[in-house]
Amino acid sequence: MIFARVVGTVVSTNKEPKLVGKKLLLVQPVEPAGTAKGAPLVAVDAVGSGEGEFVLLVQGSSARQTTATEGNPVDCTIVAIVDTVEQGGKTVFEKSKDPAQR
């Protein structure tokens, strides 16, 4: 899994039938400390996350192993909202102190 920041939304009225009713979020992959890394992706959300949140993405066939995405043409799913990341004994991310979230 990789870290990402939810940065927006994607709207499509003409989409594959299995995607109807699924919210498509724009997510920016980031390093644990928050630096953007690579191009934004579009993910389906399995945990009720919202814009600004720091999340975990699962990719590939594993992206279809959630109730929200089973059997769907989806290769990127948000499976967790991150509370804290500890690296080398230091807290490098803490949701309650995250300036991006109000």
Residues that bind a second copy (CB under 8 A): 1-3, 7-19, 24, 26, 31-32, 37, 39-43, 46-49, 56, 58-67, 71-77, 79-88, 92
CB of 97 to a second copy, least distance (A): 14
Please give the distance of CA 78 from its chain centroid, rounded to a whole number.
4
CB of 102 to a second copy, least distance (A): 14
Measured from the CB atom, the residue of 13 and 102 that comes closer to a second copy is 13
CB of 35 to a second copy, least distance (A): 9
What are the φ/ψ torsions at residue 97 (nearest 5 degrees)? -110, 15
Closest to 43 (Cα-Cα) out of 14, 71, 68, 13: 68
CB 54 within 8 A of CB 5: yes
CB of 78 to a second copy, least distance (A): 9
Closest to 29 (Cα-Cα) out of 59, 2, 63: 2
Measured from the CB atom, the residue of 80 and 98 that comes closer to a second copy is 80
